[in-house]
Amino acid sequence: MAVVAKTGNEAMAEAMRQINPDVVAAYPITPATEIVMIFAQFVADGLVDTNYIPVESEHSAMSACVGAATTGARVMTGTSSQGLALMYEILPIASGLRLPIIMCDVNRAISAPINIHCDHSDTMAARDFGWIQIFSENAQEAYDNLLQAVRIAEDPRVLLPTMVTTDGFIISHGMERMEMLEDAQVKEYVGEKKPAYSILDLENPKTIGALDFTDYYFEHKMPLVQAMKDSKQVILEVGRDFGNKFGREYGFFEKYKMDDAELVMVALGSTCGTAKVAIDELREQGIKAGLLKIRVFRPFAAEEIAKELAGKKAVAVMDRSDSYNTQGGPVFTEVRSALYGTSNAPKMINYIYGLGGRDINVPQLKSVFTDLSKIDKMPEINYLGVRE
């Protein structure tokens, strides 16, 4: 193990080098370009065995990943924002064909207006395509999550493509202290991929991507439903095992000062680091504030999250994107839905914040807790940090 200073992009590229996938197909897009650039240098220097395909678009990146994955190869890519949006058509093909492709996804706003900075609109729009989605608070988590993603995605109980996200610029370009495993440790941890079949198996020719009409399509979607359910157990197992092996354990979410918390913030990604500082300061004033940091957004750990929030006085759900449904952001609608019909459900409001990389700071997050102390007077959906 080595203690190093890395940006989120460097951390992800290093994890990719250590995973040493068979194929990487990727296309440049800010702020994820660096991941591909750094990895391309590893290829150029012979540090990986990977066959790297510098495709002509993200659509082709995901298409090539799908093709490569049908051979049983271990396949990775990286993208962001418009690039992820260009992949949307192929994302459900990857999950529908049960191809455990791994993606580094740097969260960035979606055009228009064009904007290169962080929000979660790109990733949230991809939430219903059958991909596992894991959010990272910092470079360390990005690194750890990417390594675990291989084990989760390729588990025979799962076989789902998986994206690990960081927040654009905030994590992708922010340099932090982190611990890196030794190459040999990662090699052993991820192991050899053991595919159930390969399109290159000439003795047992397969037809992949066949046409289903009304008589089979539904049945073929049900295993995907089941795999997403089953992935919950695998995510927990892998997170615990990672903790046992390397000292950092992971689950569906992280609880920060939650045990006795009365006022709770639910958030994802880099904002959680800022929220922890706000909570520490509030605790000094005797305010019982806490944070539930959601790490795994797909599958959504509804029951487990509902259990953590039961009995709390007030909850603020932070969304770094809007779903434009007039009912709040995607995290809010998920959390509220998780609590529907449960006993002891807390009062809950939503904050949409940080769109297009608008800064979110400690005073703002503290003001959210102030709002929570008078939740009855608050509107259900609030926009934080926007000029009127």
Partner 1 sequence: MATLKELSTRKDPLCGGHRACSGCGFPQIVRMICMASKDPVVVVSATGCLEVVTTIFPYSAWTVPFVHNAFENAAATMSGIEAAYRALSKKGKVSKKINFITFGGDGGTYDIGLQSLSGAMERGHDMLYVCYNNQAYMNTGVQRSGATPIGANTTTEPVGKIKQGKMEKRKDLTEIMVAHNLPYVAQATVGYWSDLTRKAEKAFAVTGPKFINVLQPCRLGWIYKPEDTMVIARLAAETCFWPLYEVENGKYKGTFKPKDKKPVVDFLKSQDRFRHLFKPQNAAMLEDIQKEIDVNWEKLLSKEGK
Pick between residue 98 and residue 288 the one whose CB is nearest to partner 1. Answer: 98
Q: How many residues make contact with partner 1 (CB under 8 A)?
A: 45
Strand partners, 352: 319, 383
* 318 is an interface residue for partner 1 by CB under 8 A: no
Min separation Cβ 293 and partner 1, Å: 35
Binds partner 1 (CB under 8 A): choice among 38, 40, 43, 55: 55
**Listed ranges 113-121, 196-204, 324-332, 378-386: which one lies at the site for partner 1 (CB under 8 A):** 196-204
Chain positions 13 to 52 lying near partner 1, rule: CB under 8 A, are: 22-23, 25, 49-51
Chain positions 90 to 109 lying near partner 1, rule: CB under 8 A, are: 90, 93
* 69 is an interface residue for partner 1 by CB under 8 A: yes
Chain positions 333 to 352 lying near partner 1, rule: CB under 8 A, are: none
Strand partners, 256: 291
Return all residues near 71 (Cβ < 8 A) that are at least 6 apart.
195, 198, 199, 200
* 191 is an interface residue for partner 1 by CB under 8 A: no
* 196 is an interface residue for partner 1 by CB under 8 A: no
Binds partner 1 (CB under 8 A): choice among 46, 194, 213, 325: 213
Pick between residue 129 and residue 369 the one whose CB is nearest to partner 1. Answer: 129
Pick between residue 55 and residue 362 the one whose CB is nearest to partner 1. Answer: 55
Q: Are strands 253-256 and 381-384 parallel, antiparallel or unpaired?
A: unpaired
Q: Are 172 and 106 in contact (CB under 8 A)?
A: yes
Pick between residue 55 and residue 125 the one whose CB is nearest to partner 1. Answer: 55
Q: Are 314 and 344 in contact (CB under 8 A)?
A: no
* 73 is an interface residue for partner 1 by CB under 8 A: yes
DSSP state, 301?
Answer: -
Burial of 283 (0-12, 13-18, 19+ CB in 10 A): middle
* 223 is an interface residue for partner 1 by CB under 8 A: no
Element containing residue 14 per DSSP (H, E):
helix 8-19
In the complex, the residues that contact partner 1 under the rule CB under 8 A are 22-23, 25, 49-51, 53-57, 59-61, 63-73, 75, 89-90, 93, 198-202, 205-213, 216, 220
